[in-house]
Chain A
Amino acid sequence: MALENTLIQEKLTQKFGNSVTNFATMRDIFTLEVNKDKVHEVIQFLKDDEELNFHFLTDLAGIHYPDNNVDEQFALTYQLHNWIENTRIRIKTFLNGENPEVQTITDLFLCSNWMEREAWDFYGIKFTGHPQLKRILNMDEMVSHPMRKEFPMEDGGRTDKDDRFFGRTPVNC
């Protein structure tokens, strides 16, 4: 029997109350939002609970929302997968824009090590308790976090590519 979304929701709300919100099914994936202080606990619960058993971390992605209010300018999504029931779940958590910080989950999933380093490298999200939080794909000397939206993709001084002539502005490109 497949793992029902309602069961996951019930268990999580019972355990975490108001820290887990916005349950929704986005196409084939059940999603929820978690308060950033509870991320580690929720993931640990999802992993260790015998019925839920989300034992595989598929992916971890940082996201930048510069237009949100300051407490929600960064987001992290964790995708967990239960292979036995073949159920996926996606957890989203919002982080502060000035000091994005969240507890590491490297103690739960070894593979989150590089994923968290990638999020640090590209978004500057700090993972407290991470054993080796340093840049991974970019060079160590780099000072900026290039996947943030304010970081331009190309040199702003270029004159040979003027997108305005094609009806595009920085906003609608």
Chain B
Amino acid sequence: MIQQEAQYRAWMLAALAGDAAAYRMLLQGLTRHLRGYYAKRLGAAAAEDVVQETLIAIHAKRATYDPTRPFTAWVYGIARYKLMDEYRRGHRKATVPLEEAGELFGADEAEAAGTRRDVEKLLAKLPQAKRDLVRAIKLDGQSIADEAARTGMSETSVKVTVHRALKSLGEELGGSNADR
């Protein structure tokens, strides 16, 4: 996200100065993000038209980008506005929660950021000590021996703690699914 901000901002600044190659990279990259963002909310077919409209808006309103501010926030502001406009026209529910720009840039084809966020949400349900262990071993790839040394626990109790934590998260997921 931070790398994307730097990359897109650099393309945008070059484009504002008249660099067509940078502008092409910018628009092609944004097309990918926007397609994912709208497809998730409007369906793939409707998304294409809105992507097109949003690209035109980005082009027409590019002078309103203030180079001292984040580019991703600017693009997200436009994308969200066009989404609300689409809802209004379709007489659908016309409120879109004020999310962060991450909503747009998390919508890339891979959805990697979205997955990561879901995992973090789930992890937040664990107590601090267990959460740190699960994150270190299962997400960051630390060894059980290292974590045992760091926390002063035995290797066996690290293993048991992680196992129990994952089991309780599994039950959490199973439970919420059964509710539906």
- Bound pair: A and B? no
Write the residues of chain A forming the contact surface with B, with a CB cutoff of 8 angstroms.
none
